[in-house]
Amino acid sequence: MSAAGAVIDRPGPTIGNRIFRFLDRYLLVIYTLAAVFYLMLPVLVMSMFSFNDPSGKSNVVWQGFSLNAWLHPFEVNGLQKAVTTSLGIAFLSTIIATALGTMIALALARHGFRGRAVTNLFIFLPMATPEIVLGASLLTLYVAIGVPPFFPLNFLTILIAHIMFNISYVVVTVRARLAGFPIHLEEAAMDLGANEWVTFWKVTFPLILPGVMAAALLAFSLSIDDFVITNFTGGTISQTFPMLIYAKTRIGVPPQVNVIGTIIFVTAVGLVAMSTLVSRAQAQRDQRVARRLTADEAAAA
Amino acid sequence: MGAFLRRHRGLTPYLLLAPGLLWLAVFYLGPSVQMAVSSFWSGSLEKGYVFSFANVTNYTKALTRFEPQFLRSILYGGAATILTFLIAYPLAYAIAFRGGRFRNLLLFLVIAPFFTSFLLRTLSWKIILGDVGPFLGPLKAIHLLPDDFRLLATPIAVVSGITYNFLPFMTLPIYVSLEKIDFRLIEAAQDLYANRFGAFQRVTFPLSLPGVFAGSLLTFIPAVGDYVNAELLGNPDTTMIGNVIQNQFLTQNNYPTASALSFLLMAGILIAVVVYARLLGTEELTAGGA
Amino acid sequence: MSPRDPFSAPNITRRSFLVAGSLTGVAAFIAACGTSGTANTQTPTGTPAATAGASPAATAAPTPKPTTSAELNWANWTYYMDTDPNDATKFPTLEQFKTKYGTTVNYQEVIDDNDSFLGTIQPQLQHSQDTGWDIIVMTDWMAARIIRLGWAEKMDLGNMPNVTANLQDVYKDVTWDATNDHHVPWQSGMTGLGYDKAKTGALTSLAEFYDPKYKGKVDYLTEMRDTIGLTMLKLGLDPSKATRADCDKAIAEIKKAKDAGIIRAFKGNAYADDLRTGTIVLSMAWSGDMVQALIDKPSLAFTVGSEGGMLWTDNCMIPKGAKNKYTAEVMIDFCYDPKIAAQIEAGVNYICPNKGAADVLKANNPDAANNPLIFPPADILARLHIFVGLSEDDEKYFNDQFATVSGLG
């Protein structure tokens, strides 16, 4: 126990308390830093091997520094197409799943209706089903249909799967934001003569936008990284980036794949940082608006 | 539209729900039903399949022949869930109560690794944990470890891989539930028990339990069904039920057995979820996942 | 016209810097394996490489009646086509084909497993629909199954003079395609011992795979026919006549090795990375992979066991209902031009089924031509076995047994 600690803290009566206090003060900080290091370590290794200079097709042993993969990131057969496919599926599934999921979240959070409990369970089910079962069962459906556009497996069959597993996550995320929603703002707008439609776009939507953005980000990251479900629903015509990585693990993952992985990581980090800043600014503005509205209401009264 | 809705206010929630639920009905329930049907098939892909409810051989076979893999999945999934809890709780606690102005940054650092492909991260672990890799190599060189010691191709590697991959699913719900706690409550408890540990034991931890439960579920479910970690980091004695399902579906093209296995896995998990939902209420489930 | 001389030295990949082996070639191959009556040690159509750079045309132009299509869809295994050394996404052979015939080849490396690939096209084949592919490449046992089910188009050999002239005789008249017109061999490979000789010394016997001194340092293959085949050979059984009883014996032997902790894992091509990193010291291995792995780690070696090794072939086929059947035939035939075959071989490193390719390579890439893993000498070829063609029921039995021993139930 350090002298400084003894001055600030009241002396604790038990050994358990002393240990806990010590852990609380010093170990937690060290622990947190160690945990962050543990979490980041594989990402660092991945990025490091994007600068490797492998002599053959394999990239598992460090052989020397090279910028080659960064200068020629798409010089791997199928890589560019796979990245494009992944991005396309991620964008489309994010937009559609976010729209569908936000609507469900609004209904669940704002309206009382028959079948709420069933709906809640139904939303939870896809999250409670292991990915392999989701993918495999969709595959059996596609194979049973056996005709285009569901077979041969293609871009559309992957997209359908991604929208499916993303909806639940969007619902959950948007709902969390709706939980503390200031309903009186909507009521105020309606009192002022706005109809539901106008109220939704002018009041409700801007207020839930940060939640919707967070949901969209989550959906995007789930989609772009999904391998298990995609591997079942993807077939051979459309190959996504994770499918390509998996295929390459059999013979050797070229450093270009690490380059793309690093770029996706940096971009995602940048996007999240940006959205955090934007939503913080927005929250501040919301607060100002709310304060002014309350003041106006008070003045009107 | 607006006028119509005003006249039929009760319809609004259903209109909002319809498109999304329809999607889930067609592409989640539909396939599940299809899978249930195929689990009663007999025959082969080449000769064609015949459906009969009397044909339960796929199920008996699934339960007897693949019993070790089922048990192993539950064991590994359970071990990984406990490990993620042990790692995640102090982390979430530290961020929630000691994060200060770095709270958002720390939270972000926890999530950030998961923006890279989990396949690439798992492959990185393979390099790090290699028999003569940067971690074991030096330890062997100074004879702290025997030459034939290994981490890869052992249950330890598989469980570690799963633990790492599902860590945020545990950390975030715990963080959310800890962050919600009114700090005045903890201060009051500290005064009451004159003891920080007591306050933690009797107030903080019980209040964070919803997060712990949500996190356990969000970790355990995907962990039980995982097969990539076992494939990349394991050996023939660490195969999980996911590996069997993957092999039966994609390599052997044996849809009936694969369907029966999937159905059993799903049913087992759903039973667990329903029991859990009874305990905590469905609202908690969907809300806790945030 | 391709701006680059496809046969000049810079275009030959670094794989050519290989330890040269004994001087053998096609002649020895045929001498060892030739089964048909026509003894031929000459290379009939293979024009010497000195005139290379000109259009690599087949001498016999295709009949003018049908025309080649604008597009051709080809599904193949990874690293099974020569690539431009400066840009791995460019395939000189396919670009030359486009220059000559105007056909853009949609070449996709999407096959990494016979069964799972067939699973992706089976429903269309069953419903007699176009699978979207004009050429697929399948290992012989799978090719046999596809032909048996009537899912392969009969090729018009009249459109394929190069194939007729250059296919080595050993590949002809297989039991499952007696008319030789439903499949054309693409590459062959050997299965044997891949090992790190710095750790193990020189190995010759398959018994090494079952030796406890390599406990936890040995990979077996996920390919059932290779792992069971090598085990049968170790037990003195003949995989080309394997029965269920033989299978049981082999499985028991594999199980013994697994239970003793000798086997570290069952791997696909990924065993090569385990050898590179030093994770393992010995693996059941494919010749072409080992040619590649040697570049990274010169202490690695490949040997066909003294008890024997496995020989397998991947074959080009045209799936039933393919849109561009004629163009597919022209494409396959184009690859059988000895110059093109030599160009592909220098990039692929498996065993070449083309008679003329060795002579072309001898002139401009002697290292490849003399590599015993690419052109195996007679004494090695004599030790190779082709796995027996299994009936559907037997195949299921073998697969089930193998899945059990490899941990998959």
**What's the CA gap between C229 and C208, in Å, rounded?**
15
pLDDT at C91 over 90: yes
- From chain B, the residues in CB contact with C217 under 8 A are 148
Q: Which residue from A89, A237, A81, A99 is spatially nearest to A159, judged by alpha carbons?
A: A89
pLDDT at C34 over 70: no
Q: Are C176 and C147 in contact (CB under 8 A)?
A: yes
A77 Cβ under 8 Å from any chain C Cβ: yes
Chain C interface disruption, residue of A63, A77, A243, most C CBs within 10 A: A77
> Do residue A16 and residue B110 have CB atoms under 8 angstroms apart?
no
Distance from the B239 Cα atom to the nearest Cα atom in chain C, whole angstroms: 6
Of all residues in chain C, the percent with pLDDT exceeding 70 is 84
pLDDT at A240 over 70: yes
pLDDT at C3 over 70: no
| More confident: B284 or C368 | C368
Chain centroid to Cα C43, Å, comes to 21
Q: Which residue from C259, C253, C252 is spatially nearest to C216, judged by alpha carbons?
A: C259
pLDDT at A275 over 80: no
Distance from the C115 Cα atom to the nearest Cα atom in chain B, whole angstroms: 5
Provide the pLDDT confidence category of residue C365 given band limits of 50, 70 and 90: confident
Residue C182 has a pLDDT of 96
Q: Strands, DSSP E only, in C204-338?
A: 218-221, 263-267, 282-286, 300-303, 309-317
Pairing of strands C135-139, C71-77: parallel
- A195-218: per-residue pLDDT in tens? 878 888 888 888 888 889 889 988
pLDDT at A179 over 90: no
User: How many other C-beta atoms can be found within 10 angstroms of the C-beta atom of residue A279?
Assistant: 16
Rounded to the nearest 10°, the torsion over CA A50, A53, A56, A60 is -50
- A122-140: per-residue pLDDT in tens? 898 898 899 999 999 998 8
Residue C116 has a pLDDT of 80
pLDDT at A76 over 90: no
Distance from the C269 Cα atom to the nearest Cα atom in chain A, whole angstroms: 5
Omega prior to A149 cis, within 30 of 0: yes
Among the residue ranges B213-222, C7-16, C152-161, C250-259, the one predicted with the least confidence is: C7-16
In this prediction, the answer to ipTM > 0.95 reads: no
Average pLDDT, chain A: 86
Round to the nearest angstrom and report the end-to-end CA distance of chain C: 55
Residue C308 has a pLDDT of 96
> Do residue B235 and residue C278 have CB atoms under 8 angstroms apart?
no
Provide the pLDDT confidence category of residue C28 given band limits of 50, 70 and 90: very low
Give, as one character, the DSSP assignment of residue C271: H
> Do residue B195 and residue A45 have CB atoms under 8 angstroms apart?
no
Chain C interface disruption, residue of A155, A251, A257, most C CBs within 10 A: A251
pLDDT at C31 over 70: no
Pairing of strands C71-77, C104-111: parallel
Q: Which residue from A171, A34, A153 is spatially nearest to A98, judged by alpha carbons?
A: A171
Query: Which residue in the block uniquely carries the two structure tokens 């770029």?
Result: A263
C295 Cβ under 8 Å from any chain A Cβ: yes
**Most confidently modeled range among A11-15, A40-44, A193-197, C81-85:** A40-44
- From chain A, the residues in CB contact with B104 under 8 A are 276
**What's the CA gap between C125 and A191, in Å, rounded?**
64
Among the residue ranges C66-75, C123-132, C253-262, the one predicted with the least confidence is: C123-132
- From chain A, the residues in CB contact with B245 under 8 A are 132-133, 136
CA diameter of chain B: 81
DSSP A140-167: HHHHHH-STTTSS--HHHHHHHHHHHHH
Chains in contact with B, counting 3 or more C-beta pairs less than 8 Å apart as contact: A, C
Distance from the B252 Cα atom to the nearest Cα atom in chain C, whole angstroms: 7
Q: How many residues does chain B have?
A: 290
**What's the CA gap between B102 and A74, in Å, rounded?**
38
> Do residue B247 and residue C408 have CB atoms under 8 angstroms apart?
yes
Among the residue ranges C55-69, C273-287, C312-326, C362-376, the one predicted with the least confidence is: C55-69
Residue C33 has a pLDDT of 37
- From chain A, the residues in CB contact with B110 under 8 A are 35-36, 39
Among the residue ranges A260-274, B1-15, B137-151, C392-406, the one predicted with the least confidence is: B1-15
Omega prior to C64 cis, within 30 of 0: no
pLDDT at C35 over 60: no
pLDDT at A37 over 90: yes
DSSP B187-243: HHHHHHHT-HHHHIIIIIHHHHHHHHHHHHHHHHHHHHH--HHHHHH--GGG--HHH
A188 Cβ under 8 Å from any chain C Cβ: no
pLDDT at A187 over 90: no
Determine the 3-state secondary structure of C108 from DSSP.
strand
| More confident: A246 or C195 | C195
Among the residue ranges A95-104, C58-67, C171-180, C307-316, the one predicted with the least confidence is: C58-67
- Chain B nearest-CA residue for C149: B46
Please report the sign of the dihedral spanned by the C-alpha atoms of residue B187, residue B188, residue B191, residue B195.
Answer: negative
C349 Cβ under 8 Å from any chain A Cβ: no
> Do residue B236 and residue C263 have CB atoms under 8 angstroms apart?
yes
Average pLDDT over residues C11-26: 29
Residue C125 has a pLDDT of 87
Of C215, C266, C408, the CB nearest to B244: C408
pLDDT at C313 over 90: yes
Identify the segments of chain B with pLDDT beneath 70.
1-9, 194, 277, 280-290
pTM for the model? 0.84
Average pLDDT, chain C: 83
Residue B87 has a pLDDT of 96
pLDDT at C2 over 50: no
Of B152, B238, B244, the CB nearest to C279: B152
Chain A interface disruption, residue of B83, B101, B120, B190, most A CBs within 10 A: B120
Residue C45 has a pLDDT of 39
Residue C14 has a pLDDT of 29
Which residues of B, range 128-167, sit inside 8 Å of C by Cβ? Answer: 130-133, 148, 150, 152-153
